[in-house]
């Protein structure tokens, strides 16, 4: 590394501080609070929805966040999660942080906090944090040790140039995420307008609340699908996973309308052959059927076909004549999602949402022309989303390849 090194603590504007302890019972109103969930979900803390807590005058003075603050996870269920770093971007209002997080506020005359945010996301930064992490029940990061970490110290102007290069990738990624969200929202809004409020083209206005429009019908999901079933655990479990191969989709990848590549597992050809019966195809709908994530539902990305699914994920494949995008939106609609969760709460087996339950799950099917019109609109929107998601993967890959070379000084800017 060509940069000189200094202790991280030498860059502080003030000593690091742990956040506030607030029991769940007293949360609900007041100021926004960053929790562990936000830290692990978002690298850039901004206007995300958060829990709220009350703060007294002293806490408002010492325990709030400013743009550029770095937040670190003090603990994690896994050792690799310790020290996960997020940076505070723009905040819409006063925001505090909880006790499992450490706030580091750097001296802006000596440090560009964006540079150190990227450093702690690089191999070098992660290795440095792991070197001081303790294993006491669950992995932990003492704030007192954070100050002693040796970090690169290029001139402040060079820090800024490096951060600008990397931030340009993140800006493109964030812009694409916003475009993806707009596309998802447009499809959801159209579904609600046509199939919940019944304001579709040619709709009648004199229907009773329980009456369906002409040519509409209610059908069990089993009659609308050509495949419905969950996967299995590969032989050897997690020990069989490899660095690259055929994707194995798990519950941590499946969210409502969104597919997360983080935590995606891979298996070899032999393992995949044993799971050939749970191979996903383009436009398959994926449903989490167990655990805390039960009921989350999205469409498989085309780039992962022919992936497999494990036993916590169900494949729902639309039959001929049934639009898969409509099925996805119907399952994710508020009313039907509440029904799914009620099944899960009363489920007596490990698979809270069993195959039999889902075969009988009732879906309202519109007339052919309305279904086709919605399907075309949703297909176009989801195709655009797929392009943007794939572009973001390429941008992240390029940024992550560049990151260690910039942090080490191998590339000058």
Q: What pLDDT score was predicted for residue 210?
A: 78
Q: What pLDDT score was predicted for residue 136?
A: 44
Q: Which of 231, 221, 377, 240 is nearest to 307 (CA)?
A: 231
> Are 272 and 408 in a shared domain?
no
Among 136, 153, 170, the domain boundary falls at 153
Alpha carbon distance 68, 66 (integer Å): 6
Between 84 and 349, the more confident residue is 84
> Are 44 and 125 in a shared domain?
yes
Where do the H-state alpha helices sit in 120-268?
A: 123-132, 143-146, 156-191
> Are 12 and 143 in a shared domain?
yes
Is the predicted pLDDT of residue 202 greater than 50, yes or no? yes
Mean pLDDT of 299-325: 95
Q: What pLDDT score was predicted for residue 350?
A: 52
> Are 122 and 41 in a shared domain?
yes
Lowest-confidence region among 9-18, 70-79, 292-301: 70-79
Asked if residue 212 belongs to a domain, the reply is no
> Residue 125: left (phi > 0), alpha (psi -120 to 50), or beta?
alpha
Is the predicted pLDDT of residue 166 greater than 60, yes or no? yes
| CATH assignment at residue 190 | 1.10.287
Mean pLDDT of 62-84: 88
Measured over the CA atoms of residue 47, residue 48, residue 49 and residue 54, the dihedral's sign is: negative
> Residue 158: left (phi > 0), alpha (psi -120 to 50), or beta?
alpha
Quickly tell me which residue has 């560049």 as its tokens: 402
User: How many alpha carbons lie under 13 Å from residue 81 in its C-beta half-sphere?
Assistant: 16
Pairing of strands 265-267, 246-249: antiparallel
Asked if residue 273 belongs to a domain, the reply is yes
* Domain range for 383: 156-206+367-413
Alpha carbon distance 110, 224 (integer Å): 62
pTM above 0.85, yes or no: no
Asked if residue 32 belongs to a domain, the reply is yes
> Are 128 and 80 in a shared domain?
yes
Q: What pLDDT score was predicted for residue 389?
A: 94
Give 355-411 pLDDT, tens digit per residue.
Answer: 999 999 999 999 999 999 999 999 999 999 999 999 999 999 999 999 999 998 888
Asked if residue 267 belongs to a domain, the reply is yes
> Are 127 and 264 in a shared domain?
no
Asked if residue 211 belongs to a domain, the reply is no
Quickly tell me which residue has 């812009």 as its tokens: 175
Is the predicted pLDDT of residue 172 greater than 80, yes or no? yes
> Are 95 and 200 in a shared domain?
no
Angle in degrees, 0-180, between the axes of helices 324-332 and 368-407, rounded to the nearest 10 = 80
Among 365, 388, 404, the domain boundary falls at 365
| CATH assignment at residue 357 | 3.90.220.20
Asked if residue 143 belongs to a domain, the reply is yes
Q: Mention every residue, 6+ apart, whose C-beta is less than 8 A from residue 25.
A: none
Asked if residue 17 belongs to a domain, the reply is yes
> Are 267 and 383 in a shared domain?
no
Q: What pLDDT score was predicted for residue 134?
A: 61
Question: How large a percentage of the chain has pLDDT more than 90?
Answer: 69
How many structural domains are present in the chain? 3
What does 339-392 look like in DSSP terms, one character per residue?
HHHHHHHH--SSSSS-HHHHHH-EEEE--HHHHHHHHHHHHHHHHHHHHHHHHH
> Are 375 and 353 in a shared domain?
no
Among 109, 135, 153, the domain boundary falls at 153
Q: What pLDDT score was predicted for residue 135?
A: 47
> Are 145 and 229 in a shared domain?
no
Q: What pLDDT score was predicted for residue 205?
A: 76
> Are 309 and 321 in a shared domain?
yes
Asked if residue 133 belongs to a domain, the reply is yes
Q: Show the CA angle centred on residue 84, arms to residues 81 and 90, nearest 5°.
A: 145
> Are 137 and 61 in a shared domain?
yes
Is the predicted pLDDT of residue 58 greater than 90, yes or no? yes
Give 14-48 pLDDT, tens digit per residue.
Answer: 999 999 999 888 888 899 999 998 998 889 999 89
């Amino acid at each position: 590394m060509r940069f000189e090194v200094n202790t991280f603590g030498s860059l502080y504007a003030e000593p690091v501080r742990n956040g506030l302890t607030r029991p769940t019972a007293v949360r609900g109103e007041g100021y926004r609070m960053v929790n562990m969930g936000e830290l692990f979900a978002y690298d850039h803390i901004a206007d995300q929805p958060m829990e709220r807590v009350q703060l007294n005058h002293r806490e408002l003075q010492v325990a709030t966040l400013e743009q550029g603050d770095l937040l670190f996870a003090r603990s994690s269920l896994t050792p690799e999660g310790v020290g996960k770093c997020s940076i505070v971007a723009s905040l819409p209002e006063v925001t505090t942080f909880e006790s499992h997080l450490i706030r580091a506020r750097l001296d802006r005359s000596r440090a560009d906090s964006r540079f150190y945010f990227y450093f702690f996301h690089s191999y070098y930064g992660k290795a440095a944090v792991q070197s001081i992490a303790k294993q006491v029940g669950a992995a932990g990061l003492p704030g007192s040790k954070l100050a002693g970490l040796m970090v690169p110290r290029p001139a402040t102007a060079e820090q800024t140039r490096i951060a600008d290069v990397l931030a340009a990738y993140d800006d493109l990624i964030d812009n694409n995420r916003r475009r993806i969200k707009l596309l998802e929202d447009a499809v959801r809004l159209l579904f609600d307008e046509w199939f919940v409020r019944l304001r579709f083209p040619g709709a009648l206005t004199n229907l009773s609340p329980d009456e369906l429009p002409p040519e509409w019908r209610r059908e069990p999901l089993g009659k609308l699908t050509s495949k419905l079933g969950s996967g299995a655990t590969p032989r050897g479990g997690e020990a069989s996973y490899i660095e690259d191969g055929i994707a194995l989709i798990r519950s941590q990848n499946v969210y409502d309308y969104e597919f997360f590549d983080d935590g995606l597992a891979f298996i070899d050809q032999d393992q995949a052959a044993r799971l050939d019966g749970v191979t996903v195809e383009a436009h398959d709908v994926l449903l989490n059927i167990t655990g805390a994530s039960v009921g989350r539902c999205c469409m498989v990305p085309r780039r992962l076909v022919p992936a497999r699914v494990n036993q916590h994920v169900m494949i729902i494949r639309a039959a001929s004549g049934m639009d898969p995008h409509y099925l996805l939106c119907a399952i994710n609609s508020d009313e039907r999602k509440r029904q799914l969760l009620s099944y899960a709460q009363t489920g007596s087996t490990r698979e809270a949402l069993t195959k039999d339950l889902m075969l009988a799950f009732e879906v309202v099917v519109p007339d052919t022309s309305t279904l086709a019109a919605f399907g075309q609109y949703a297909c176009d929107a989801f195709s655009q989303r797929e392009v943007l998601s794939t572009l973001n993967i390429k941008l992240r890959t390029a940024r992550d390849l560049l990151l260690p070379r910039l942090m080490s000084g191998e590339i000058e800017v």
